[in-house]
Structure 1
Amino acid sequence: MIELHLIGIGTGNPDHLTAQAVAAMNNADLILLPRKGAAKSDLIDLRRGICAAVLTAPVQVAEFDLPARSDDPAYLDAVHDWHDAIAATWCAQIAEHLPDGGRLAMLVWGDPSLYDSTLRIAERLKGAGLDVAVRVVPGITSIQALTAAHAIPLNRLAGSVTITTGRMLRERGWPEGAGTIVVMLDSGGAFEVLEPQGISIWWGAYLGMTHEALEQGALAEAGPRIAARRADLRARHGWIMDVYLMRKEQADGA
């Protein structure tokens, strides 16, 4: 039996971990940390730093190379193949480090339930014949970190919120009937497809980290500023994690 704990770690700041997350890490027999190549070495360093900051028990920590996703234009097919490859890699790590079973922990950015596929990959372990019980430890999402950084509420009074992706925004534009939207997993500048009049944006990158970057304002003025700053940050760090919230003005101007 493998007891798989998927632990939300927020945006990489050890202060974002809950007491439940710290306990789950210290009760694990093994923590697996993925390496994503030299260009994203900061990501593995952040996970190492979290382990160094909170582990007080002699927990085994092992690192592995995460398979790369294909650039195949058939997006969903490429993602399914990628998830299969990751699941196979996890199986190999489990066979090497936990051959007799035990408690395995994986550190997941943000929260495992929101635009993250770790839970879907975990299901593949059962299909591979492993006896796996999945436990989820919720974490602070990038959306929470974004609204906190800007000191704004997520929703308008009695209003709804639509959460979408950069790819969906590019393909379909502003979601019908939405007043507030949050855009995640944007490879860059999806907001540029919108007519900016009457839209405000709140953007954040590396939220909760020492090099956190924030911008806000009317989309017409802030959009180009965000695009330029995002490109500069990505070139400087080799990777970027960002998220943004946009609102349309209401008829009364609010």
Structure 2
Amino acid sequence: MIIKERGITEEVFTLYSGMMVGDIVNRIGDIKCDATLNWVESLNVDVDETVIVGAYLTGMKLANRLKEISKVTVIDIHPILKSLLDKNIAFTDDLNRISSADLVIDTTGLGGLSPETVMERVSSDVNIFLVEDPTSEGSDSNIMAKSNIMQRLDLANSNYKGIIKTSGLNTKTSGTMTLTIEVLRKSLESILKGKGVLYGVAGMNFYEGVLFKEKDCDKFLRLMQEPALITSSLQPLSSDDTLEMNLLKIKSWVDNVSV
């Protein structure tokens, strides 16, 4: 749905995308969740208790989806993130909870869960251990060198191990917010090339600063409800179609890791 109104003069339209920033975040989260859940279900093993390490966008989305099939606990050092989770999901900063889970998903990315913590807590009792790869096809050598997910996986004693991978937009990381901003950027760039388009504004903000620096969850949620794109144009156009085109480029899957 496109919301339009007249601009400064009757010759110009101001066009608001029907898609909000939060819609893009949710779509990318669903892409990752679908790949993850399909892989877990393919193992055909019982999962009564899930622990997700990292409560930001990917972890939050996985927690809200996995609560339908198991008891879920989210571990994170930032208490503000509890506000983004369903009330039925347990939240703690206690890493000892890892040891009691059937399924552990590590979404902490660069500089997150340490290999030492994995070695100490991810025993064979943790049947499935999944790590989200923070790198993507556009990652530079410094980012690649910073990732230690293979160390984490090597030190885990789980029966099943996997890497959640996401790509498609040539981003430097696979983070949900990184991908969201790139969808906005590429879509705006494409829209601006259209005939009769005067200018456009994408719903870009330093969202992580709002949560982790300002610690304002309400402001973060308000910003998520702002239009993804606002365009000034001589004629109506569908920015949602352009946003959709870029979202469809994003692919996520799980690579099996040999035990």
TM class, shorter-length: 0.3 to 0.5
TM normalised by structure 1 equals: 0.37
TM normalised by structure 2 equals: 0.36
